[in-house]
Amino acid sequence: MLPVDEKLKDFYQEIIRRNQGEPEFHQAVLEVLGSLGPVLAKHPELREHKVIERICEPERQVMFRVPWQDDKGTVWINRGFRVQFNSALGPYKGGLRFHSSVNLSVIKFLGFEQTFKNALTGMPIGGGKGGSDFDPKGHTDNEVMRFCQSFMTELYRHIGEYKDVPAGDIGVGAREIGFLFGQYKRITNRYESGVLTGKGLDWGGALVRKEATGYGLVFFMQEMLKARGQSFEGKTCVVSGSGNVSLYTIEKVQQLGGKVIACSDSGGYIYDENGIDLECVKQIKEVRRGRISEYSKSQPRCKYIAGGSIWDVPCDIALPCATQNELNGRDATSLVKNGCKFVAEGANMPTTPEGTKIFHDAGVAFGPGKAANAGGVATSALEMQQNASRDAWTFEYTEQRLADIMVGIHQRCYETAEEFGTPGNYVNGANISGFIKVARAMVALGLI
């Protein structure tokens, strides 16, 4: 267990008791509580208002049945979720995840994290998350469409431009957002562009949203490097996953002079010492929806390692971009031993608490997901802004806005960590800065 302030220990036990069988949610709460001791010492009024207790309880949780038929006519039943965590700063905002591992614990941890992440962006957005235990992998476009239509047939009543604005996450990309938006439009008879983000560029989507999480992660890492007088130039990087976040992380690292030598999917990882050929990975993943193992067929110099840990590949910079708890204590030890000095999380909570502690103890610069991957949701807020004004910005302008936002988030985390007596600790910086912003709004809005 992470060290938690004495005053918060009983409260954490209460979280466990009230949210049984939800280990991911417990983990996410504990990680934030671990930073809040000094905040309570400085702001005793937050205790009086029971802000921590309120912030850990979602405002609303919806669970629903999603029946659908596959191409053979067989009936399937999945479970849908939307957890509307906190709307003190704006409408609930956060992605939808379609993956077999989705359950209430996973959606609650993601919604909780999202609340602080969204606060860190400085944009007017609250926190929420949703999804289903349906996995689009292996299904035809028609099956995915029928699933999305059934999912939205319930979800539509809970969302709206001023209420709750979902987007993508694992298993939900432009194809799924298209089917979801189409069904929302059909049911409500409204072309409400601002109800979903990550839309296609032809029908209300924003340039740079697809690239934003990966690009933003790399902009954040660039600031971490600068803070230690370094740059991407000539550094080797390992990026886990090969989905939306990973692909555009690799792209921006390469543009900035770094070399990405490994990436993965849930089957295994590829190692290419000359640097990954990104166009080849995009063909496999974005165009063919294939497996990363196919890369070695067209790139004979590359090694494919089935199973195994990608974190055993020596590198200067590690960027976990797949899923929660994909980098554990053993992996962190291996990275540190091999000389890795910088880690930033593209995924949400990919590093276990043991892994984080090992990085901190070894003096590795560690950027937590709620700060480092906030570029995706920040650019979603820019998409909402464009939709509201019926405008469409250029790629260059939008990318510059994203870069500025990431520099701002880094600065806020860096300065807050110093102010609260833990210089260089981005975990404390992100947790405290995000928490204070939401807490102040909650106090100002009365007992909500």
Residue ranges binding ligand 2IT (CB under 6 A): 93-95, 114, 117, 167, 169, 197, 348, 376-377, 380
Q: Helix H segments across 122-188?
A: 141-155, 174-188
CB atoms within 10 A of CB 400: 13
Considering only 242, 249, 334, 428, the residue that binds ligand NDP (CB under 6 A) is 242
Q: Which is nearer to ligand NDP, 153 or 348 (CB)?
A: 348
**Cα 393 to Cα 192, 248, 385, distances in angstroms:** 19, 20, 10
Task: Out of 129, 210, 341, 370, pick the active-site residue.
Answer: 129
Q: Per this entry, what is the length of the chain? A: 448
Q: How do beta strands 127-132 and 75-86 pair?
A: antiparallel
**Cα 201 to Cα 175, 193, 226, distances in angstroms:** 12, 12, 34
Can you point out the beta strands (E) in 57-105? 60-69, 75-86, 92-98
Q: Which is nearer to ligand NDP, 121 or 246 (CB)?
A: 246
CB atoms within 10 A of CB 357: 16
Of 296, 308, 186, 323, nearest to 242 (Cα)?
323
Select from ligand NDP, ligand 2IT, none the partner in contact with residue 402, using the beta carbon and a kind-dependent cut-off of 5 to 8 Å. Answer: none
Select from ligand 2IT, ligand NDP, none the partner in contact with residue 367, using the beta carbon and a kind-dependent cut-off of 5 to 8 Å. Answer: none
CA distance 328 to 350: 8
Q: Which two tokens stand for residue 17?
A: 């008791």
CB 197 → ligand 2IT: shortest distance, Å?
5
Considering only 243, 258, 355, 434, the residue that binds ligand NDP (CB under 6 A) is 243
The DSSP symbol for 172 reads B
Q: Is 34 in the site for ligand NDP (CB under 6 A)?
A: no
CB 216 → ligand 2IT: shortest distance, Å?
10
Burial of 115 (0-12, 13-18, 19+ CB in 10 A): buried
Which window, 80-88, 155-163, 219-227, 235-243, contacts ligand NDP (CB under 6 A)?
A: 235-243
For residue 77, the cross-strand partners are 67
For residue 63, the cross-strand partners are 81
Q: Is 416 in the site for ligand NDP (CB under 6 A)?
A: no
Decide if 381 contacts 356 (C-beta within 8 A): no
CB 317 → ligand 2IT: shortest distance, Å?
21
Binding map of ligand NDP across residues 254-283, x = CB under 6 A, - = no contact: -----------xxx----------------
Q: Which is nearer to ligand NDP, 374 or 439 (CB)?
A: 374
Select from ligand 2IT, ligand NDP, none the partner in contact with residue 321, using the beta carbon and a kind-dependent cut-off of 5 to 8 Å. Answer: ligand NDP
Binding map of ligand NDP across residues 161-200, x = CB under 6 A, - = no contact: -------xxxx-----------------------------
Residue number of the CB atom closest to ligand 2IT: 95
66-105 positions binding ligand NDP, by CB under 6 A: 99, 101
Q: Is 241 in the site for ligand NDP (CB under 6 A)?
A: yes
Of 158, 80, 84, 152, nearest to 118 (Cα)?
84
CB 168 → ligand 2IT: shortest distance, Å?
6
Spell out the residues 6+ positions from residue 16 whose beta carbon is closer than 8 angstroms to its own.
Answer: 26
Catalytic annotation present for 259: no
CB 281 → ligand NDP: shortest distance, Å?
10
Decide if 51 contacts 443 (C-beta within 8 A): yes
Binding map of ligand NDP across residues 195-224, x = CB under 6 A, - = no contact: ------------------x-----------
Q: Which residues are catalytic?
A: 129
